[in-house]
Copies of this chain bind each other. A is one copy, B any other.
Amino acid sequence: MSNIRHALNVKRQDDFAKWYQEVIAAADLAEESGVRGCMVIKPWGYGIWERVQRLMDDRIKAAGIPNAYFPIFIPLANFEREADHVEGFAKEMAVVTHHRLIADGKGGLTTDPEAKLEEPLVVRPTSETIIGDAMARWVQSWRDLPMMLNQWANVVRWEMRTRMFLRTSEFLWQEGHTAHATREEALEETHRALEMYRACVEEDLAVPVIAGEKPENERFPGADETWSIEAMMQDGKALQAGTSHYLGTSFAEAAGIRYQDREGTQQLCHTTSWGTSTRLIGGVVMTHGDDDGLRVPPRIAPHQVVILPMLRDKPEDEAVLAYCEEVRASIAGQSALGEPIRVLLDKTPGKATAKRWDWVRKGAPVIIEVGPRDMENAKLAVLRRDRLWNTDNGKPAMQFVARDQFAAEVPALLEDIQDALFTEARERRDANITRGITDWHGVVNFFRKGGKYPGWVEVQWARPTGKALDDVVERLKGEKLTIRNVPRDGEPADGTCIFTGEKAAERIFVARAY
């Protein structure tokens, strides 16, 4: 395979962080904006996000949860109410203090001291407190419950070190917020959202995840329980891809979300919140990217099939374009993966070969090239992005397929690519989970000597709390390790705690993480 000339300069195995940056640029997903920590999401990257949004939104609506919209600005007072939440969030946030600019007398602009806000406003880092205010107005009786809402919005957390899609000062997300009469119902919703995330990320993004509960030290500030889905990136690190929180009654108490029960008694609501963000795009890159760029799973590809006409500035170009348009229409008339196929006839200027490599880097699932000879033979040159290379000769594995045959097979082809990407990622993930380490020393050794991309270990622990947990967290931090979660679908514990040697309570995943 050494004779393959890959489309990127950096290979995953050589420098994963640099490779990630190169894919983002080469696939035209996003770039630095010049505004600190904020990125510009370019059309191909945003197109993928729109697909993720649509698919997630369909799932949210199918659960009977409508969208709404709440203000971007949150008064300081809201953050002062819930003590744990303040601790966790009231730190690095963008704060609006003025509402007017005036000339600074030096040809520039400055804040107008006359227009200072009486109380500063925080640009939302998350919306529990402001949505809590609304729910306190809207919930009166048990008949109003459950109250379930979702919001698609931008949020801002002033990050010191940023990385595109994974950690940016501004990011886009959805945040679900629900209020329930009982703890049981709120927990049920917490788990429904978690399972919805698992299904969407695995089925739509083709990213395998492990659903489970975060340890106490990794909980959302103020939450009673935090659950997550965790994905393994190709460098073996974990990416938290979505979280679902059972907030108990503390946020309800802070905001005053109370209902009158059937007996006429005032009760506090039990609330939940859950979110996924543009971080998922980073997860798609680090799961499906290869040394030629991105590979976008068909379900979330803005264009699933791209047709490139081979034009030569000659009179026959017109016939080739007409033929391509026929091919496009015959594909667009079909459905795959439950939706009409999204097919692009790319007529932009440029050579077909150069454009082929642009689409390879962007990761369009299927690329078709059509020249005059193909037209004469009623054939298409088809390239499957997830199996790009002919390993025998180091050349792109272009298949020449009869046009009618291709039209008949394209739905199955897209389904196969979706499955193949998921299977490849799941097998790699499973191959990089190590089990059977029984003590802390073994964990330390494993990660110190496990090579560049050691993966995760599944170990057992006694679920310490308080000071004992602090101690565990310190030990992990010393090795740059974290507990990802306690798997929801894992086996029960049957051994001893790696930290204390006591009887173990449960299994946990330990890994380096983004």
Query: Known contacts A134-B40, A170-B73: does B93 contact A80 (CB below 8 Å)?
Result: no
Bound complex: CA A112 to CA B98 (Å): 15
Tell whether, in the assembled complex, residue A66 and residue B43 are in contact, meaning their CB atoms are under 8 Å apart. yes
Nearest B-chain residue to A73, judged by Cβ? B35
A90 in complex: contacting residue of B109, B130, B349, CB < 8 Å: B109
Indicate if A413 sits at the interface (CB-CB under 8 A): no
A68 in complex: contacting residue of B42, B90, B130, B154, CB < 8 Å: B42
Tell whether, in the assembled complex, residue B96 and residue A123 are in contact, meaning their CB atoms are under 8 Å apart. yes
Tell whether, in the assembled complex, residue B68 and residue A133 are in contact, meaning their CB atoms are under 8 Å apart. no
Nearest B-chain residue to A348, judged by Cβ? B143
Tell whether, in the assembled complex, residue B66 and residue A41 are in contact, meaning their CB atoms are under 8 Å apart. no
Indicate if A91 sits at the interface (CB-CB under 8 A): yes
* Residues of chain B with a CB closer than 8 A to A69's CB: 40-41, 46, 49, 172
A95 in complex: contacting residue of B73, B111, B349, CB < 8 Å: B111
* Residues of chain B with a CB closer than 8 A to A107's CB: 80
Nearest B-chain residue to A69, judged by Cβ? B41
Query: Known contacts A133-B34, A158-B100: does B95 contact A143 (CB below 8 Å)?
Result: no
* Residues of chain B with a CB closer than 8 A to A42's CB: 68
CB distance from A30 to the nearest CB of B (A): 9
Tell whether, in the assembled complex, residue B111 and residue A72 are in contact, meaning their CB atoms are under 8 Å apart. no
CB distance from A352 to the nearest CB of B (A): 15
* Residues of chain B with a CB closer than 8 A to A108's CB: 76-77, 80
Tell whether, in the assembled complex, residue A72 and residue B170 are in contact, meaning their CB atoms are under 8 Å apart. yes
Bound complex: CA A96 to CA B72 (Å): 13
Indicate if A493 sits at the interface (CB-CB under 8 A): no
Task: Mark interface residues in A79-116 (1 if CB within 8 Å of B CB, else 0).
Answer: 11000001000111111111111000001111100000
Indicate if A122 sits at the interface (CB-CB under 8 A): yes
Indicate if A375 sits at the interface (CB-CB under 8 A): no
How many of chain A's residues have a CB under 8 angstroms from any CB in B?
Answer: 64
Bound complex: CA A107 to CA B121 (Å): 17
Bound complex: CA A130 to CA B40 (Å): 10
Indicate if A47 sits at the interface (CB-CB under 8 A): yes
* Residues of chain B with a CB closer than 8 A to A97's CB: 95-98, 111
Nearest B-chain residue to A118, judged by Cβ? B36
Query: Known contacts A76-B109, A349-B143: does B91 contact A35 (CB below 8 Å)?
Result: no
Indicate if A149 sits at the interface (CB-CB under 8 A): yes
Indicate if A495 sits at the interface (CB-CB under 8 A): no
- Interface-central residue, A50, A108, A109, A120, by most chain B CB under 10 Å: A109
CB distance from A12 to the nearest CB of B (A): 27
Bound complex: CA A39 to CA B72 (Å): 10
Bound complex: CA A495 to CA B498 (Å): 93
Bound complex: CA A66 to CA B303 (Å): 12
A74 in complex: contacting residue of B35, B122, B349, CB < 8 Å: B35
Bound complex: CA A172 to CA B69 (Å): 9
CB distance from A98 to the nearest CB of B (A): 4
Indicate if A315 sits at the interface (CB-CB under 8 A): no
- Interface-central residue, A46, A79, A134, A172, by most chain B CB under 10 Å: A46
Nearest B-chain residue to A33, judged by Cβ? B71
Indicate if A38 sits at the interface (CB-CB under 8 A): yes
* Residues of chain B with a CB closer than 8 A to A68's CB: 40-43, 46
Indicate if A496 sits at the interface (CB-CB under 8 A): no
A120 in complex: contacting residue of B86, B111, B154, CB < 8 Å: B111
Bound complex: CA A92 to CA B96 (Å): 13
Nearest B-chain residue to A98, judged by Cβ? B95
Nearest B-chain residue to A70, judged by Cβ? B40
Tell whether, in the assembled complex, residue A38 and residue B80 are in contact, meaning their CB atoms are under 8 Å apart. no
Query: Known contacts A70-B40, A73-B170: does B122 contact A123 (CB below 8 Å)?
Result: no
* Residues of chain B with a CB closer than 8 A to A186's CB: none
Tell whether, in the assembled complex, residue B80 and residue A91 are in contact, meaning their CB atoms are under 8 Å apart. no
Tell whether, in the assembled complex, residue B99 and residue A94 are in contact, meaning their CB atoms are under 8 Å apart. yes
Bound complex: CA A107 to CA B111 (Å): 28
Bound complex: CA A158 to CA B97 (Å): 12
CB distance from A170 to the nearest CB of B (A): 5
Indicate if A156 sits at the interface (CB-CB under 8 A): yes
Q: Which 5 A-B pairs have the closest CB atoms?
A: A38-B71, A43-B66, A41-B69, A99-B158, A95-B98
* 25 pairs of residues in contact across A and B, judged by CB atoms under 8 Å: A35-B75, A35-B121, A39-B71, A40-B70, A43-B67, A46-B66, A50-B67, A71-B170, A72-B123, A72-B170, A76-B110, A80-B107, A90-B109, A91-B101, A92-B100, A93-B99, A93-B100, A94-B98, A95-B99, A95-B101, A96-B97, A96-B123, A97-B97, A99-B158, A143-B349
17 more contacts with CB within 8 A, not counting A38-B71, A73-B170, A76-B110, are A33-B70, A33-B134, A38-B73, A39-B71, A40-B134, A46-B68, A47-B66, A49-B69, A73-B94, A79-B101, A86-B109, A91-B101, A92-B100, A95-B101, A97-B111, A101-B122, A143-B349
